[in-house]
Amino acid sequence: MKATKFLMITSFILILVLMTSCFQNQPKQKIKPASIPVKEQCQGEFCNDDVEIICQSSNCDAELSQQYLQLQTKVVKCLDNYFQFSAPRVSYKISSKEKTACEQEGGCCCTTGGMTDWSGVSQSYLYGNTPFGATGVQSPKDIIAEEHETTHFFLFQMLKGHPAWFSEAIAIQTNERAGCDVSAMDLEGNAKEFAKKGDAYLRETNLDLQSSGGVKMSDGSILDNDYYLRLKNGESSLETRDSHTIGALWVIGLKEDYGCEQQCILRIVKELQKYTESQCRPGTYCGDNPLQYPEIVTDEVIKEKTDLITGRDTRELFELLGIL
C-alpha cells in the first residue's frame, strides 16, 4: 500500500514537472510593434527616400529640378542630424507662377519663402537669383537651398499641433544658425552669398552685421538685439505682432536675458517632442485626420519646458511678448 502511494505521488510530481517544463519551453509570444508610417514609393522622376520635387507646371526645367532635388536632399539630411529626428519624405510642390522680368543688370537676388503644412512645402517657383531680362532662375548655381520652410515641416512631424509663433521661432533660429542651406550649396554665386546671410529676422551672421538691412519695425528701427532691449525697457512698443516678429524676439530674448542660445533652444524642442510623444497614443498621429491635429504643445507647455531647460522662470519674456 505504501509502495503504491509512493508511486502515485512520484508520478504526480513527475507530471507537474513535465507540465511546468512544457510551459517554460513554449516560445514567448512576440508583441507586434505599433504600426510605423512607411514612406510611399516615389511617383515622379525627381524623388528619393528623403525628398520629392513635384513640378505643377508644364514648363519646369529638368536640370533645375534635379539640382533642387540634390540641394534639398542635403538640407533634409542635415536637419535630420540637427534635430536628431528622421522625418518622412519632404515634398516640395513647385507651381512655377510667372514673374516679371528682372530689370537689374547684375541680376535680381533673391526671393525666398513658401507655405508649409504636414504634407510638405509649397513654392510659387524655384527661389534664387534671376538674371537680367529673365523671369526666373536659369542656372543650377542660381538656386537657393530651402531651410526655413523645411524646418516647419520637421516641426509638424515632431510636435504635431503647436503655436505659429513658436514654429517661426525655431525656423528662424535654424535658418540663421544651423547653416544647412549654405552647406548644401556647392556652387558659388549670388544665391550662395545670399544664403550666407541667414534669416532676415535674426541678424547674427557677419554679412548681417556688415549690412544696414533687416526687418523694419514700427518705430523705424531694425528688429535686432537693440530693439529687443528698448522694448524691454519701455522705450519702444510692439505694434507688429505677427508670428515671425514674436518668434524672433523670443529667440533674441532667450539669448539676452537667459543665456539660452542654439543648443539650449534645441533642447527645448526635444523636451517638447518628448512631451508630444507622451500625449499621443502609440502608432497614431494624435488623431486620424492630420489636418485636425490638436494643439498638444500650447504656450503654457512651451513656457514650462523653457523654464526647465534654462533653469529660470521665463514668465517676464513670455508676458513682454504677449504670449501669456
CATH number of 51-280+296-320: 1.10.390
Strand 115-117 vs strand 90-94: parallel, antiparallel, or unpaired?
Answer: unpaired
Look at residue 83 in the predicted model and tell me its pLDDT.
97
Q: Taking the chain (324 residues) in consecutive chunks of 10 residues, what is each chunk's mean pLDDT?
A: 41 37 31 40 87 83 93 97 95 83 88 82 90 90 94 93 95 96 88 88 84 83 93 90 95 98 98 91 57 80 98 98 96
Rounded Cα gap, residues 236 and 189, in angstroms = 39
The rounded distance, in Å, linking the Cα atoms of 308 and 285 is: 26
Whether residue 252 contacts residue 258, with contact meaning beta carbons closer than 8 Å, is answered with no
- Sheet architecture: strand order including 115-117: 51-55, 90-94, 120-123, 115-117
Cell numbers that stand for 141 in this block:
548655381
Break the chain into its structural domains and give their ranges: 51-280+296-320
Question: Would you put residue 51 in left (φ > 0), alpha (ψ -120 to 50) or beta?
Answer: beta
- d(CA 249, CA 224) in angstroms, rounded, equals 8
- Residues 149 and 126: their CA atoms lie apart, in Å, by 13
- From the CB of residue 185, how many other CB atoms can be counted at a distance below 10 Å? 22
- For residues 245 and 224, the answer to whether their CB atoms sit within 8 Å is no
Strands 120-123 and 115-117: what pairing? antiparallel
SS3 143: strand
CB–CB of 162/272 below 8 Å?
A: yes
